[in-house]
Amino acid sequence: MKTTVLVKIATQSIRKNKMRAALTMLGIIIGVAAVIVMVAVGYGARSRIRAQINNLGTNMIVITPGAAQAAGVSQGAQAFPNLSLDDVEKIRKESEIVSAVSPVIVTRTQVIGDAGNWRATINGVDTDYQVIRDWQTSSGDFFAPEDVNGLRKVAVLGKTVADQLFPGTDPVGREIQIRNVPFNVVGVLAPKGQTATGTDSDDIVLVPYTTMRAALSGRLFIPQILVSTASESEIPAAQDEVRTLLRESRRLGESDPDDFTVRNQNELAAAAEGSTKVMTLLLAAIASISLVVGGIGIMNIMLVSVTERTREIGIRLAIGARGSDVLTQFLVESIVMGVFGGLIGLALGFSGAKLLGHFTGWETVISPLVMLGSVAFSGAVGVFFGYYPARKAAALHPIEALRYE
């Protein structure tokens, strides 16, 4: 028989028992909808992480203290603050690829403004920091090279700090105090939002690193050095060059491991996305269990259908139908139920993902490939679980089938 005829017969059979067919497809519907929603949430998280990593800066390379060994045990990255301003100067003077470099000297303390005080992260940086991070100001300007060279007490505020210390007003030209040292506010940074780790990028105060070393007492260390290249294609070569320069400054032998780490944005993104990818696959696998349950339901109902239609099968065989015709008929009926369930689940999953994103604020990304794959898999479930009942129907003897009561 033609495929269109087989599909028509299968559809008519399903319509005769609408409630039973609906309950049979329920497992498929729930499974497909759950897979689409879970994968949409996972893809949304990965997309958000990628956007946050890209928001860090342009063609950025991050240098951090390396993994130190103590009693043969790795202490992990940034175990000891072994980066120095000498490393910064060596990279700045000797690198032929790096276009911008800045140390990041960090401390966290109270900042006093017109509206009170606020505990914020204070970063001592160079003017190249703005270029590396691609971080524009929404008000005022970034401090200039002469501010760095002259150890001037100037500061650029993140939006969160500006809102806390100067609510409703422009802080440019006003004064703040960091550890009782007055700083003149010269600019406010444009908002960047949260980082991939969930911290607030805008809860920050930037000051010249020279001023920070000279004027602010307390525990000051360099947790990272930021560099950038003129183009993305130069990043691998720049990483190798930076690694060579730092090994030279530390007089490391060929067999000595690096005591620093050099990473680019893609590596940071890959590391951040790794756990999210595993979680997405795990959620999809759990949701796929419903598809298996739905397939078992299809097999059960098809076996019941074969029993109910034994005489019909006998008549078909008696008037010349082949066993393969009967097998195809029942197999198509099973596939139709699987695909119908998949399409309904697809609609519910798409709507569910959109609603979840709307009410929770989560970013959800619905992949067309996942949508097509879910429907195709539901059809494959119909084939797999419908084959045995269809094979059983095709194997019936015509005379015995006609005698069946």
Entry pTM: 0.60
Torsion angle of C-alpha atoms 219, 221, 223, 224, degrees rounded to 10:
150
Is the predicted pLDDT of residue 171 greater than 80, yes or no?
A: yes
The answer to whether 148 and 129 are in contact (CB under 8 A) is no
Helix, coil or strand: residue 80: coil
Rounded CA separation 84/93 (Å): 15
Rounded CA separation 333/21 (Å): 11
Question: Higher pLDDT residue, 305 or 240?
Answer: 240
Tokens read off for 5: 């005829």
Question: Which residue in 19, 34, 25 sits closest to 295, CA to CA?
Answer: 25
Please name every residue paired with 95 in a beta bridge, in sequence order, or none if there are none: none
Q: Dump pLDDT digits (tens) for 294-303.
A: 888 888 888 8
Q: Dump pLDDT digits (tens) for 210-237.
A: 999 888 865 567 888 999 998 888 888 9
Rounded CA separation 222/107 (Å): 9
Enumerate residues 6+ apart whose C-beta is below 8 A from 94.
245
